[in-house]
Structure 1
Amino acid sequence: MEIQKIQTYFSKPEKVLLGACVATASKTGLSILAIRIMILVLTIFYIPIGLLLYLGLFLGLVLNKGKTLTFALFGTLIGIPLSYYFQPEVVQNWRGGSGVFGYLKNFLSMVEEYDRLVGNGWALVQNMLLAIVVTTLIGGAIGYYLDKKNKTNPS
């Protein structure tokens, strides 16, 4: 396949899937191709983050469902890596303390090893879910406040 044909396919202005990248490009002034590559790279590295980001962009920019739902989804997205800070110190220093990316990359093996050594691997999963719920609620509250503010002060 020719390079020009590939660039034309990925940078065409019509919707390819749901139109979130096109809507983002029109709002931000960035290239459609750049936005699609950024979302693709995010999805390759960590699937839930890329999918939640795309869904959030779709709901917020294409469907205009309001800021409450969009901010709640972005809160969920942020809650996944922030759950690292909800974990016990043993987990944060697991195998030399590889940080948030090591935590996300090795989460399943970390849970198994923690369960084998300490005996309560589900506690790590519960901590992750707690972080996701807390950041989702905070994001939803911020979005609700912004929606309410826009309804009282229409510009």
Structure 2
Amino acid sequence: MKDLVQHLASIELNLPAYPMDIEKGEQGKYYVFDPIRKKKLLLTPEEWVRQHIIHYLVKNMNYPGSLISLEKGLKYNALQKRFDILVLDRSGEAFFLIECKAPDVKLNQKTVEQVCLYNNNFKAPFICISNGRMHFCLEREPITGKYSQISHFPIFE
């Protein structure tokens, strides 16, 4: 079987490739340097997708890295959950909430509902669910709270 890094690198994502700082640690596990959190994290298929999305937002779409928050806790129905990526606007309000899945996870109604439920806490105008291969981006109508699909990541202004 291929090692994890070779396996992940062989998966074609619908995102540009980026050079990542990856190193093999103890017990043969791989770690990737996260430029937002400025620390090494265990490399998993979901983290691979998250890092590609972060790089894409910062390098290609000019999102400010300082306004990106990663894997923080939130409460939903008294349950402790964690969101993957939350981008704030320049006034510190939620702008774009992204839920990342591993490349082999199929995106379906349930996974879309997950990010919609998380967004009840934030009321971000844009949300996305991505497995790196497919991205479902939605725009939230501020008055009704209903979502409609958009064909791209939102432009940060």
Scaled by the length of structure 2, the TM-score of the pair is 0.29
Scaled by the length of structure 1, the TM-score of the pair is 0.30
Q: Give the number of the structure whose alpha-carbon radius of gyration is greater.
A: 1
Instruction: Report the structure, 1 or 2, having the larger strand content.
Output: 2
